[in-house]
Structure 1
Amino acid sequence: MARFLIVALVALAMAGCASNVVTDYNSAAVFDNYSSWAFAPVSDNSAFVSLDGNRVRNAIERELNGKAMSKVDAEKADLLVSWRIVEEDRLEQSGVGLGLGFGTGNFGWGLAAPPPVREVKEGKLVVELVDRSSEQVVWRAASRRYLNEDQSPEKRTKLVNEVVAEMFSKYPPGRD
């Protein structure tokens, strides 16, 4: 019993250390040279920013200001910030499966139905920093946590703030 408890505690501790974001970067980029930033011009035809878009923009702005980087016009910025919420479909089982069985001795019959499955739409946040002069992505972060349609506005705001803060805790790279 004690061995099981120790294994469970170690597994729980390791799960708590797992990162909720994945980052990648251009190892040739000199991140100390970047001191200003701007949001990249939006390429789609929409003139409106969504509710989640406002949440993401506010969180990114807060994090980059905390890195002592100046927000400037896109023409003067060292880095352009591009972000998107990538929609993904996931199947989710909810409820309990049912089963019925009968038999005697070493022989029996059983019948079972799996739990109901439903499709859930989720959004994964991806943030990229682009060197304006070379037009190359120099840093990228993607979330392993998802926004979904069932979350309240407060939970969505909290999740976006947490994810963006964790993303930018790994910027600039190599300073862990």
Structure 2
Amino acid sequence: MRLLMIAAMALVLSGCASNVVTDYNPSAVFGNYSTWSFAQEAGSDAFVSLDGSRIQMAVERELKRKAMRKVPKTEADLLANWQIVEEERLEQTGVGLGFGFGRGNFGWGISAPPPVREVTEGKLVVELIDTETKEVVWRAASRRYLNESQSPETRRELIDEVVSEMFSKYPGVVKGVRIQDEEAS
């Protein structure tokens, strides 16, 4: 029974774990920001990747929900910058094999580790920069990853979920008092 309770508690706590990490400048007055623009605007020789356009649409949607207006870069209070940071990790692709023999408290064994492969994944990072001070005032990084094996629909859904969760942690303003939205867990 004790083991079952520990397993249930671990499951509850893992459900409360956030998929994003945010940081912000506590001296910034977020209620003063009402306009924004992307830091990198597509020009005549620039292009936006497929994931880039998905990210831009999600960021636009979330800032609009925060009652912020998109304006030309020269008139913006905040610049929105995003990047996909590539990280490599090893992924187990099978099972290890081993055998052994022995008697009592003594024995010999040999095993082969499971086969692994290197996988490159992308972590989304979004930053908001104050145009007056040229400093980052808010930053969010995803703990969920994009990888090359995901379908376009899965990638879009993941980006939408992650960006929505990022901006749910954006500091808000209530009647002139700055508050930090807390995750209810």
- Please report the TM-score for the alignment, with normalisation by the length of structure 2: 0.89
5 Å-filtered alignment, 1:38-53, equals: 38-41=37-40, 47-53=46-52
Match of 2:71 in 1: 72
Tell me the percent identity: 67
Are the structure 2 counterparts of residues 46 and 11 from structure 1 closer, same or farther at C-alpha, using a change threshold of 3 Å?
farther
How many residues are aligned here?
Answer: 175
Match of 1:175 in 2: 181
Residue number in structure 1 paired with 2:93: 94
Per the TM alignment, residue 107 of structure 1 is displaced from its structure 2 partner at its CA by 3.3
Alpha-carbon distance between aligned partners in 2 of 1:17 and 1:108, rounded to the nearest angstrom: 44
Q: Distance in 1 between matches of 2:147 and 2:40?
A: 26
SS at match of 2:133: coil
Residue 154 of structure 1 is matched in structure 2 by: 153
Match of 1:56 in 2: 55
Shift of 1:6: 1.2
- Counterpart residue identity of residue 181, structure 2: R
Give me the whole-angstrom Cα distance separating, in 2, the residues matched to 1:50 and 1:8.
42
* Corresponding residue number in structure 2 for 1:34: 33
Shift of residue 42 of structure 1?
Answer: 5.2
Tell me how far apart the structure 1 counterparts of residues 111 and 45 of structure 2 sit (CA, whole Å).
49
CA RMSD between the two structures? 1.8
Are residues 46 and 156 of structure 1, via their aligned partners in 2, closer, same or farther at CA, if it must alter by over 3 Å?
Answer: farther
Counterpart secondary structure, 1:159: helix
Please list the CA deviations of residues 138-168 of structure 1 after superposition, one character each: whole Å capped at 9, or x if unmatched: 0000111110111111111111001000000
Cα displacement (A) at 1:109? 1.7
Q: Deviation at 1:88?
A: 0.6
For residues 104 and 155 of structure 2, what CA distance do their matches in structure 1 show? Answer: 55
Distance 1:154 1:75 in 2: 35
Residue 59 (structure 1) shift: 0.5
**What 5-or-longer segments of structure 1 have no aligned partner?**
none
Q: Which stretches in structure 2 are left out of the alignment for 5+ residues? A: 173-179
